[in-house]
Amino acid sequence: MTWRPLPEPNAERDPASLRASLDKVAKRFGSSSASAFSGLFDRWEELVGPSIAAHAKPVSLRAGHLRVEVDSNAWASQLRFMTTDLVERCCSALGPGAVRQIDIRVARR
């Protein structure tokens, strides 16, 4: 008897667009789409402004849950008060539901 691989479903053999493939990978990491994931990190300064971006950076985005690291407790407090506004800014730029919640953490030194 000769070994033969199981036949693949036709959908697996057909070429897929790069966007669809990246979206599939992004969903495995918990992001809504690859464009939302990369857009958030690429456009962070534009979304939050240069003064906030100088002290805060996005670390991860999973299932609409954005984790942001800041460089001090003072900035953590400030951003916690701005959470609703930041969620709205992200969603208006990246699409509804791209960010639903923000977790602010002080970065370890």
Contact by Cβ (8 Å): 89, 98: no
Q: Would you state the structure tokens that stand for residue 82, as one six-digit string?
A: 């701005």
pLDDT band at 11 (very low <50, low <70, confident <90, very high): low
Measured distance CA(26)–CA(3) in Å, rounded: 35
**Using one digit for the tens of pLDDT, what is the confidence trace for 50-100?**
999 999 999 988 888 999 999 999 999 999 999 999 999 988 888 888 889
Highest mean pLDDT: which of 19-23, 24-28, 80-84, 95-99?
80-84
pLDDT band at 23 (very low <50, low <70, confident <90, very high): low
pTM of the model: 0.68
